[in-house]
Amino acid sequence: MRTHEGKKALVIGAGVAGLATAIRLAAQGFQTSVYEIAEEVGGKIKEEHISGYRFDLGPSLFTMPELILELDALARASTHVKSPLPAPFQYQTLDRSTHYFWEDGTQITAWANREAFKQAAMEAVDVHPRALDRHLVHSQTIFESTRALFLEQSLHEWGRFRWSALRKALPHLHQLPWIGSLHRLNRRTLREPHLVQLFDRYATYNGSDPHRAPAMLHAIPHLEHGLGTYFPEGGMAAIVKHLHALGISLGVVFHFGQAVQRIVHQNGQVQGITLEKDGQSHRIPADVVVSNADIHPTYRKLLPELKAPENILKQERSTSGVIFYWGVRKEHAALHLHNIFFSQDYRREFQTIEAMGHPGADPTVYINISSKVQPSDAPDGCENWFVMVNVSADPDAIDAQIPTIRQAVLDKITRTLGHSIEQLIETESVQTPRDIEQRTSSWRGALYGASSNKALAAFLRHRNRSRQIKGLYFCGGSVHPGGGIPLCLLSARIASELIRTTAS
């Protein structure tokens, strides 16, 4: 095994992937530093406290907690611990994933127990239990047979390709949906319109349109219906707080409020980074640099002299979101942690987003209420509503539409619940694509980097190791394997493994 004792690694960005990469590099023996333009860790994962309410500002769904526990175990096994480690990461296992609502009065609770979910679906709509069961099993087959092949290793390092991953997938190749859209697959298999829409919405997990996204995304439902959903003790922000504490214990040095100017390289070898301080440019040397920044500003701002992968940078962006954070003076027994109020015409909604930037008068509305499982997040008798609709990653188009979007959301909630909640809102803030871009440097405020609206989208994500500069690596939601907390954590694993085996 290569030793990296005494070598220096710099990570740009303290998002979840940057934190995980820093932990892994410190455990390898690197003297590791993280440079973050914000004043705190987290990237898109932030929290805010307003008048007794706590809101998670970014991602709200937590799956695959084993990826956090893996980092816990790695730190505890490391010989490079510098100070006491934090207590093990704590989370709750949920008995359901999502409550689904339609304006026609249909409601389905997606229980964690598969039989309970099937029973709830059969009581709500006309579906044969075997059809739903086959659909869930098919999702499991896709996920389990391809995860090692597509998610847990680089797709660009053929010299390090794990053929065991391909051998595991081979017996199932005939079962994989290689052609067609996710919507087409769901419609052919399930037929029942409510369930088709329910399973179509999994394309939005990476900011895509189910009518254009590949059917292979049917792997995503297994995350909820097979592996389960969870809630971190303390909320989603507890994830990055815990990773930050692990990094500190391993000797990672964090520099906040530090905007990286350039990634420095010479003769094809990374040299470090430059920062601006007191009006002067300061160079920080390093043997390894890892960019957790969005791949677009990484090339345009940090590596402007380098030949950029234009075919990747010009890909269609994923959707963004407009998110309202409402402190609501009432409890709603019909709602739970995750709730979806579906539009009446999903295809038209996505067409409207593509044409106008926003979903129009009948949006699909996602409502997250963490006080349902963590009552301290809201005052007694109240709830903290995280209310989101999908919009295009186009800040200029969305800015002027916020009042219209807000009214459409309120009207949708009124039609679905049967009563208005506007008069119950006592605190309010909003996050827009422009806010997301400014706070996280995510180009145009896209939530997941590039969309997956093309069949080969998985192969068009940026690689985790630079081909042009030795010692430069990439992690995060805009590179392989993609966006969302689990994939960001896997990108950190892939990048750090490449560093372990290739860094000189």
| Mean pLDDT along residues 408-424 | 98
pLDDT given for residue 1 in this prediction: 40
**CATH number of the domain bearing residue 102:** 3.90.660.50
Q: What is the 3-state secondary structure of 352-417? A: HHHHHCCCCCCCCEEEECHHHCCHHHCCCCCEEEEEEEEECCCHHHHHHHHHHHHHHHHHHHHHHH
Q: Are residues 203 and 250 in the same domain?
A: no
Contact 263, 270 (CB under 8 A): yes
pLDDT at 504 over 90: no
**Which of these three, 440, 466, 482, is where a domain ends?**
440
Contact 209, 453 (CB under 8 A): yes
Q: Are residues 305 and 330 in the same domain?
A: no
| Mean pLDDT along residues 220-235 | 97
- The percent of residues in the chain predicted with pLDDT above 70, rounded, is 98
Q: Are residues 306 and 323 in the same domain?
A: no
From the number of C-beta atoms within 10 Å of its C-beta (0-12, 13-18, 19+), residue 77 rates as exposed
Q: What are phi and psi of 455, to 5 degrees?
A: -60, -35
Q: Please report where in the chains the tokens 């909820």 appear, as a residue.
A: 224
Within-domain flag for 214: yes
Q: What is the pLDDT of residues 167-198, one digit of tens each?
A: 888 888 889 999 999 999 999 999 999 999 99
**Which of these three, 398, 420, 440, is where a domain ends?**
440
Within-domain flag for 2: no
Which residues, in sequence order, are bridge partners of residue 368? Answer: 338, 386
Q: How many domains is the chain built from? A: 2
Within-domain flag for 167: no
| Mean pLDDT along residues 20-35 | 97
Within-domain flag for 298: yes
- 342-350's contacts with Cβ under 8 Å and 24+ in sequence apart are 342/100, 342/101, 342/102, 342/103, 342/194, 342/197, 342/198, 342/201, 343/412, 344/102, 344/103, 346/197, 346/200, 346/201, 346/210, 346/211, 347/183, 347/211, 350/209, 350/210, 350/211
Q: Is the peptide bond before 481 cis (omega within 30 degrees of 0)?
A: yes
Q: What is the pLDDT of residues 306-364, one digit of tens each?
A: 999 999 999 999 999 999 999 999 999 999 999 999 999 999 999 999 999 999 999 99
Q: What is the pLDDT of residues 250-296, one digit of tens each?
A: 999 999 999 999 999 999 999 999 998 777 889 999 999 999 999 99
pLDDT at 97 over 60: yes
pLDDT given for residue 99 in this prediction: 98
Residue 422's alpha-carbon distances to 16, 219, 310, 385, 427, in angstroms, are 34, 37, 45, 12, 11
Q: How far, in whole angstroms, is CA 143 from its chain's centroid? A: 17
CA nearest to 249, candidates 15, 500, 12, 26: 26
Q: Are residues 307 and 250 in the same domain?
A: yes
Contact 470, 268 (CB under 8 A): yes
Q: Which amino acid is at 215?
A: A
Within-domain flag for 152: no
Who's near 448: CB < 8 A, 6+ residues apart? Answer: 206, 207, 318, 319, 477, 482, 483, 484
| Mean pLDDT along residues 422-435 | 98
Confidence of residue 165 (pLDDT cuts 50, 70, 90): confident
Q: Are residues 248 and 393 in the same domain?
A: no
Within-domain flag for 463: yes
Per mean pLDDT, which range of 50-54, 162-166, 222-226 is the poorest? Answer: 162-166
Within-domain flag for 376: yes
- Mean pLDDT over the full length of the chain: 95
Q: Are residues 325 and 407 in the same domain?
A: yes
Q: Are residues 322 and 305 in the same domain?
A: no
Q: What global pTM score does this model have?
A: 0.95
Within-domain flag for 144: no
Q: Are residues 324 and 212 in the same domain?
A: yes
Q: Are residues 20 and 35 in the same domain?
A: yes
Q: How far, in whole angstroms, is CA 276 from its chain's centroid? A: 30
Per mean pLDDT, which range of 105-109, 208-212, 414-418, 452-456 is the poorest? Answer: 452-456
Q: Are residues 56 and 193 in the same domain?
A: no
Q: What is the pLDDT of residues 365-391, one digit of tens each?
A: 999 999 999 999 999 999 999 999 999
Residue 115's alpha-carbon distances to 106, 141, 308, 339, 346, in angstroms, are 19, 18, 50, 20, 27
**Which of these three, 389, 418, 440, is where a domain ends?**
440
CA nearest to 69, candidates 41, 97, 90: 90
Q: Are residues 348 and 219 in the same domain?
A: yes
For residue 344, give its domain range: 96-131+172-232+316-440
pLDDT at 503 over 50: yes
Q: Are residues 305 and 220 in the same domain?
A: no
**CATH number of the domain bearing residue 294:** 3.50.50.60
